[in-house]
Amino acid sequence: MLEIKNMNFAYANGAGQLHNVNLSLKKGEILTILGKNGAGKSTMLGLISGALRSNSGKILLKGQNALSLSNKQRAKFMAYVAQSEIYEYEYTALEYITFARAAHLGIFARPSEADYDIARKYIAMLGIEALTDKFITQMSGGQRQMCSIARALTAEPEIIIFDEPTSALDFGNQYKFLKVVKRLLVEGYTVVLTTHNPDFAILLGGTVALVKDGGEVASGAVDEIVKSENLSKLYGLNLNVGYVNDVGRKCCLTYPL
């Protein structure tokens, strides 16, 4: 579904370096990307989404070079949820979310009632029905982020990319988002996300990539990568990844301050 081969990148000023990245995801798999601020997590998503071009290497989508896809082909195949967006117009949540159907419509075509029904389906999945007729400009940051997530789902792509999707969400909505991601994986979606919370990688499973200082990327299965030693080195903290009986899973814990 998604394959990255020998990818290298750096901005003209030398920032945002990534070195010899090799990753592969099949249909229904997830990649969680961890790293400090400025390490290159969002840069990697920009390369995968096509917003940036690598200096060398290839990104393949279902075996096809991603650079050969038109914008409309890419929009049908892949949806992207940014950390934040600028909301300038007085659209209701339903209107804003239904815009995602544009990739499936012809030139000058307007969304049909079926398109609106698809949007309503994902509004319900995220439990944000109360926002349906509310103007996007009048919402809190967390409410807008939930609408952005619903919009990505409404596009019904094969790959969904989330750039720190829970950064503006309260604890309850973070949990709700993780449950939605689990459901998407069961339904066959391929998911790529960045996060500052190692516990998300533990909860979601799949493949994890650690973006280290200097652009080195280490990747592998959760149990291989999300370990006390690796995370302590990554974040420069004394961290412990251990099994907590009360919750029945591994957790990433800090020691007392």
pLDDT, tens digit, for every residue of 213-232? 777 888 999 999 999 999 99
Query: What pLDDT band is residue 197 in, cutting at 50, 70 and 90?
Result: very high
**Rounded to an integer, what distance in angstroms lies between the CA atom of residue 193 and that of residue 81?**
9
Backbone angles phi, psi at 143, to 5 degrees: -65, -40
pLDDT at 49: 87
Contacts of residue 191, Cβ cutoff 8 Å, sequence gap at least 6: 29, 30, 31, 159, 160, 161, 162, 181, 184, 185
Q: Residue 63's closest CA among 29, 27, 33, 21?
A: 27
Cα separation of 48 and 253, whole Å? 31
Residue 96 structural domain: 2-230
At residue 87 the predicted structure's pLDDT band, cuts being 50, 70 and 90, is: confident
Decide if 75 is inside a domain: yes
At 97-126, the pLDDT tens digits run 999 998 888 777 888 999 999 999 999 998
How far CA 242 is from CA of 55, 94, 175, 237, 253, in Å, comes to 39, 43, 21, 16, 8
How many other CB atoms sit within 10 Å of the CB of residue 74?
A: 18
Would 151 be classed as within a structural domain? yes
> Angle, to 10 degrees, between the axis of helix 113-125 and the axis of helix 141-154?
130
Specify the number of domains making up the chain.
1
Query: Considering the domain boundaries, does residue 240 fall inside one?
Result: no
Paired with 65 in beta bridges are 60
Local confidence band at 29 (pLDDT 50, 70, 90 cut-offs): very high
Longest dimension (CA), the chain: 59
Report if residue 163 sits inside a domain. Answer: yes
Strand duo 78-81 + 64-65: pairing: unpaired
CATH code, 30:
3.40.50.300
Q: Which residue has the tokens 């990245």?
A: 21
Q: Is the pLDDT of residue 11 over 90?
A: no
Tens of pLDDT along 176-193?
889 989 989 998 999 999
- Determine the pLDDT at residue 158: 92
Strand partners, 30: 191
Specify if 49 maps to a domain: yes
- Per-residue CA distances from 128 to 79, 139, 162, 176, 223 (Å): 20, 12, 19, 11, 34
Which H, E and C letters describe the chain, residue by residue?
CEEEEEEEECCCCCCCCEEEEEEEECCCCEEEEEECCCCCHHHHHHHHHCCCCCCEEEEEECCEEHHHCCHHHHHHHEEEECCCCCCCCCCEHHHHHHHHHHHHCCCCCCCCHHHHHHHHHHHHHCCCHHHCCCEHHHCCHHHHHHHHHHHHHHCCCCEEEEECCCCCCCHHHHHHHHHHHHHHHHCCCEEEEECCCHHHHHHHCCEEEEECCCCEEEEEEHHHHCCHHHHHHHHCCCEEEEEECCCCEEEEEECCC
Record the pTM.
0.88
Q: Does residue 168 lie in a domain region?
A: yes
Cα of first residue to Cα of last residue in the chain, in angstroms, is: 43
Let me know if residue 237 belongs to a domain: no
256 belongs to a structural domain: no
